[in-house]
Amino acid sequence: MKKIIPFIVVVFLLIQCKKNIPETAQNNKITGFIADSAMVVSAREEASKIGVAIMQKGGNAFDAMIATELALAVAYPFAGNIGGGGFMVYRTSDGKTGALDYREKAPLAASKNMYLDENGNIIEGKSTLGAMAVGVPGTVDGLFKVHQKFGSLPFSELIQPSIDLANKGVVVTEKQAERLAFYKHFFGEVNDTIIVLDADWKAGDTIKYVKLAKTLERIRDFGRDGFYKGETAEMLVNYVQKLGGIITKKDLEIYEAKWRNAIEFTYKDLKIIAMSPPSSGGICNAQIFKAIEPFDIASFGHNSLKSVQLLTEAERRAYADRSYYLGDPDFVTIPIDTLISSTYIQKRMANFSWDKATPSSTLKHGNIVGFESDETTHYSIVDKYGNSISATTTLNGAYGSKVYVSEGGFFLNNEMDDFSSKPGIPNMFGLIGAEANSIAPEKRMLSSMTPTIVEKNNQFYMSVGSPGGSTIITSVLQTILNVYEFKMGMQDAVNAPRFHHQWLPDVVTFEPKGFDSLLVNQLQEKGYQIKQENSVILGKVDAILRLPNGKLEGGADYRGDDKAAGF
Ligand code: GLY
C-alpha cells in the first residue's frame, strides 16, 4: 500500500497537468515546419522565402501577399500568374475580417451562347483552350487594391524580388519537368510562336523569364497601368485578337477587383471566415459544416465508414445547391442567409440514412420559399503583428488557356470555362451549372476557390486553402476537421489521404492508396459508387496552424513542391 500511494499521487498530478495543457498540445502531433511568429506556405520555396524576406524587413502579411503572389507568377507558371485572378480572405491583428475578389471577368463582347454551335451543342475545347477561353485578368489590379488598403512598404520593394528572380532564373523541379513534358504539345497547338517553356526542360535546369521581368518592371514603374494600359495591354490584346479572341483594351481599362464581405459561420467553438460569391467555397463549406455539426464525428474516427458517409451526404446536398443558386452576386441574387442557416440545412439532411446512399439522381437543389476550376495555387501567410491572410490564385487549367503572351512573358487564364456554357452540361471539373452562372459581359464566373481563416477563442487558429477545382472545397473542409476533430498537427492534417464527392457525377473519389479495401467494400454495399483506380491527387493544401504556445506550424503539401518558410 505504501508503494501504491506515491504512484497514485504521480498519476493524479499527471492528469492535473494534462488538464492544464491546451487541448491541441495534448493530442495534435506536430511534424511540420515551426516558426516563432511569421510564416508563408506556398507552392514554391522561392515564393515562400520572398514573402518571408518582406516580413523580415518589417512588412506585414499584406505586403508579403503581394510579394508572394508575384513570385509565384515567376516561379510557378503552372498556376501562379499575372494573367489570371483569385480571391483573398484576411483577418487583421484586431480581428477585422474581409475578402478581396480579384476574379477574372467575361469580356464586354462575351455572350451567353458563345461556346455553342448552331445546333446549340457545346463546341469542344472552345472554353478551355486558346484565346476564346480567356477572361479579363484580375491579379494585378487585386494586388494594387491590397497595397492601397493595407500595404506598409513601397510597391516597388515588393515587386523587385520577383523581377530579380525572373532575371536570375528558377530551377526546374522533378514535378515541374514532368508537367512541362505532359503539357508541352498544347503550347504548340495554341500559340503561333515558340515560347520559353517549349524547350526540353529537365529537372535541375534553370529557366530565365526575361520578358516577364520586363513586364514586372513596367508594373513597378507605372503601377496598375503597367499592365492594364500601354505596352503590356497592347501586347496582350493584339496577341489574343490575333489568335481569334475577343478581349479589347477597353476590357482591360475597366477591370476592377472588389472588396467583399467574407462568409462567416460557426462550427462548434470555431468561427470560420471563408470566401463569398462569386466563389462557392464559403457557402458550400458553411453548408457542409452545419450539416455535420450535430454529429460527434470525432468519435466516428478519421476516414471511418461513418465519417466518409456523413461527409459525402453533406457534400452531395451542398454541391446540388451550388449548381443552382450560385453565381456572380453582382448579377444574381443569392439567398445566402437561408442557404447557410441551420434550419434549412437540417431540412436538407432529413432524408440522410446510415443504411444507404442517397442517389444524386433523386436529389435536386433545396427549395427556398420566397427566394428573391483544377490547377490553381494557394498560399497562407501570418505576420508577427498578428495579421493573417489566405489567398488562392489561378489560371484555371494547368497553364490556363495555354495562350502565352510571348512578348510579355506570361500565360493567360481559361477561366471562361468556369461559367456554365450550357445549363446541365458539366465543365472541365464535371460541375454542372444553371442560369445563375450563365455568361454575360463583365460577369464573374463561379469559382470553387476556398481561401479560409479559422478563429478559435477569438484568436487566429488556422489559415488554409488549396487548388483542385471542385475538390478545393472538400480538401479545405477535411483539413480543418483533421486538426480540430481528429487532433492532427497541421502537417499531418495536410498529408492525410482525402476523398471527394460533388453531387454529380454520383461517385466518391478517393486518393490512390489512402483507403483500405474493407472501407471501399462497405461503402459499395451501401450503394456508393467509388472511384479509386486511376483517381488523382485531391488538392494541394498549404496551411498554417497557431499552436497553443503561440508558435506557428506550417502544413506544406507533399503532393506538390510546396514549402513553408518563416521566422
Ligand atoms: N478555376 C477554378 C475555380 O475557380 O474554382
Q: Which of 511, 543, 554, 558 is nearest to 530 (CA)?
A: 511
CA-281 nearest atom, ligand 1: 5
When pLDDT is averaged across residues 369-395 and rounded to a whole number, the result is 87
Residue 253: CB atoms within 10 A of its CB come to: 12
Of the residues 378, 429, 474, which should be mutated to test ligand 1's pocket, given the most ligand atoms within 8 Å of the CB? 429
Cβ–Cβ < 8 Å for 531, 545: no
Q: Round to whole Å and give the CA distance between 495 and 501.
A: 19
Tell me the CA–centroid distance for residue 394 and ligand 1, in Å.
7
Is residue 301 pLDDT above 60, yes or no?
yes
CA-374 nearest atom, ligand 1: 2
**427 CB less than 6 Å from ligand 1?**
no
Tell me the CA–centroid distance for residue 400 and ligand 1, in Å.
11
Q: Round to whole Å and give the CA distance between 348 and 387.
A: 37
Render pLDDT for 196-235 as a digit per residue (tens, 0 to 9). Answer: 999 999 999 999 999 999 999 999 999 999 999 999 999 9
Residue-wise DSSP of 45-61? HHHHHHHHHHHHTT--H
Of the residues 394, 417, 466, 476, which should be mutated to test ligand 1's pocket, given the most ligand atoms within 8 Å of the CB? 394
Tell me the CA–centroid distance for residue 466 and ligand 1, in Å.
11
Is residue 74 pLDDT above 50, yes or no?
yes
Q: Round to whole Å and give the CA distance between 295 and 566.
A: 37
**418 CB less than 6 Å from ligand 1?**
yes
- Measured by CA distance, the residue closest to atom 2 of ligand 1 is 373
Q: Name the DSSP class of 444.
A: P
**376 CB less than 6 Å from ligand 1?**
yes
* The pLDDT value given to residue 369: 60
**450 CB less than 6 Å from ligand 1?**
no
Is residue 307 pLDDT above 70, yes or no?
yes
H or E element, residue 147: helix 139-150
Is residue 25 pLDDT above 60, yes or no?
no
One-letter amino acid for residue 207 of the chain: I
**476 CB less than 6 Å from ligand 1?**
no
**469 CB less than 6 Å from ligand 1?**
yes
Of the residues 102, 415, 502, which should be mutated to test ligand 1's pocket, given the most ligand atoms within 8 Å of the CB? 415
Dihedral, CA atoms, 231, 419, 449, 561, nearest 10 degrees?
A: -60
Which residues are marked as active site? 376
Tell me the CA–centroid distance for residue 550 and ligand 1, in Å.
33
* The pLDDT value given to residue 182: 95
**447 CB less than 6 Å from ligand 1?**
yes
* The pLDDT value given to residue 23: 39
- Measured by CA distance, the residue closest to atom 1 of ligand 1 is 373
Sequence-ordered strand ranges (E) for 172-250: 206-207
Q: Round to whole Å and give the CA distance between 278 and 330.
A: 9
Tell me the CA–centroid distance for residue 207 and ligand 1, in Å.
27
When pLDDT is averaged across residues 489-517 and rounded to a whole number, the result is 95
Cβ–Cβ < 8 Å for 69, 139: yes
Render pLDDT for 104-142 as a digit per residue (tens, 0 to 9). Answer: 999 999 999 999 999 999 999 999 999 999 999 999 999
**448 CB less than 6 Å from ligand 1?**
yes
Q: Round to whole Å and give the CA distance between 545 and 464.
A: 9
Q: What percent of the chain has pLDDT over 70?
A: 94
Model confidence at 267, pLDDT cuts 50, 70, 90, reads very high
Tell me the CA–centroid distance for residue 71 and ligand 1, in Å.
20
* The pLDDT value given to residue 94: 97
Sequence-ordered strand ranges (E) for 301-421: 376-382, 388-394, 404-405, 410-411
- Measured by CA distance, the residue closest to atom 3 of ligand 1 is 373
pLDDT mean across residues, the chain: 93
H or E element, residue 259: strand 258-260
Render pLDDT for 328-374 as a digit per residue (tens, 0 to 9). Answer: 999 999 999 999 999 999 999 999 999 999 999 999 887 766 444 45
The β-bridge relationship of strands 39-42 and 563-566 is antiparallel
Residue-wise DSSP of 270-312? EEEEEPPTTBSHHHHHHHHHHHHTTS-HHHH-TT-HHHHHHHH
Residues near 284 by beta carbon (within 8 Å), at least 6 away in sequence: 318, 319, 321, 322, 448, 450, 473
For the whole model, what pTM was predicted?
0.93
- Measured by CA distance, the residue closest to atom 4 of ligand 1 is 447
Tell me the CA–centroid distance for residue 439 and ligand 1, in Å.
15
**394 CB less than 6 Å from ligand 1?**
yes
Tell me the CA–centroid distance for residue 417 and ligand 1, in Å.
9
